[in-house]
């Protein structure tokens, strides 16, 4: 039984959707939970603590322990205050779930640089800021579990999401480095690549598909990634009850002697350089979602039309 008794978790963007589901599950399994949410729209406009407070009330009503904090994850001072308040209330920060994010989708040709930068700032720099705020604390205690939230849109690509995709793939690189740097101090860093029916996916898929893409199925994966016996440096993909791991491979490649180290020789040998063997090369992020959804639909006898 995976439990979190005596542990304290900060979950960002936890007022709705996946973040709310993560917070509820961690609390149900015994964790003290800080429900962080700025309370803005999917596009990042506005602010309200009501969503976070609602989740806290839900946890507390079930006998759990939670508090709300409305820190903007891109504001280092606000995040520092959140961490300070967490330690004062619960004594430590053992788990950080970087889940907060926004969407501002447009084709790259039509996208404003400001919208590109804002999405990067919330997803990537927001995760950096929150992780930095707990890093030394976790190092001193020789324990930490950190989850980044990536996306198939970053790993494989989706039209109209250059900003979102760049941010989400950046989090994989952040995980890779922090996994190395945190290892000696018992800090394990992993990445969740979820696909679920949330405010961010409304209207993008048929309702029959969305009905299969429960947030609960994704949160089960998240809970494992931040558990005592969590893996390290793993990208866990989760959606509609399907679970897989994205792994970055490098082919054995070839060697060219100095007199053949030319663009033409590389072109002539490109098939050997790629050498796919058994690798499954997805062409876009929808491939992962469709795989999980198709398997789930077959199991439940649901027609996706």
Q: Say whether 164 is catalytic.
A: yes
Burial class from Cβ neighbours inside 10 Å (0-12, 13-18, 19+) for residue 38 reads buried
Euclidean distance between CA atoms 47 and 55, whole angstroms = 16
Query: How many other C-beta atoms lie within 10 A of the C-beta of residue 33?
Result: 32
Euclidean distance between CA atoms 34 and 59, whole angstroms = 11
Catalytic one of 156, 164, 243, 255: 164
Active site residues: 164
């Amino acid at each position: 039984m995976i439990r979190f008794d005596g542990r304290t978790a900060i979950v960002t963007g936890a007022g709705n959707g996946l973040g709310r589901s993560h917070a509820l599950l961690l609390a149900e399994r015994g964790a003290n939970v800080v429900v962080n949410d700025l309370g803005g729209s999917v596009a990042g406009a506005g602010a309200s603590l009501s969503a976070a407070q609602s989740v806290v009330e839900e946890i507390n009503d079930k006998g759990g322990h939670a508090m709300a904090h409305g820190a903007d994850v891109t504001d280092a001072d606000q995040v520092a205050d959140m961490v300070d308040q967490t330690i004062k209330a619960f004594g430590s920060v053992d788990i950080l779930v970087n889940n907060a994010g926004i969407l501002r989708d447009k084709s790259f040709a039509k996208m404003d640089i400001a919208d590109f930068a804002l999405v990067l700032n919330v997803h990537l720099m927001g995760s950096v800021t929150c992780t930095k705020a707990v890093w030394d604390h976790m190092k001193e205690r020789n324990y930490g579990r950190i989850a980044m939230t990536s996306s198939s849109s970053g790993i494989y690509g989706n039209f109209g999401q250059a900003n979102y995709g760049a941010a989400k793939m950046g989090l994989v690189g952040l995980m890779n480095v922090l996994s190395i740097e945190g290892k000696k101090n018992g800090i394990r860093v992993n990445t969740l690549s979820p696909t679920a029916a949330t405010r961010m996916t409304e209207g993008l898929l048929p309702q029959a598909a969305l009905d299969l893409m429960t947030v609960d199925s994704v949160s089960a994966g998240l809970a494992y990634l931040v558990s005592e016996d969590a893996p390290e440096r793993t990208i866990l993909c989760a959606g509609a009850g399907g679970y897989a791991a994205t792994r970055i491979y490098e082919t054995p490649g070839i060697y060219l002697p100095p007199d053949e180290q030319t663009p033409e020789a590389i072109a002539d040998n490109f098939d050997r350089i790629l050498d796919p063997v058994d690798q499954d090369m997805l062409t876009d992020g929808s491939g992962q979602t469709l795989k999980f959804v198709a398997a789930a639909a077959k199991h439940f006898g649901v027609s996706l039309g």
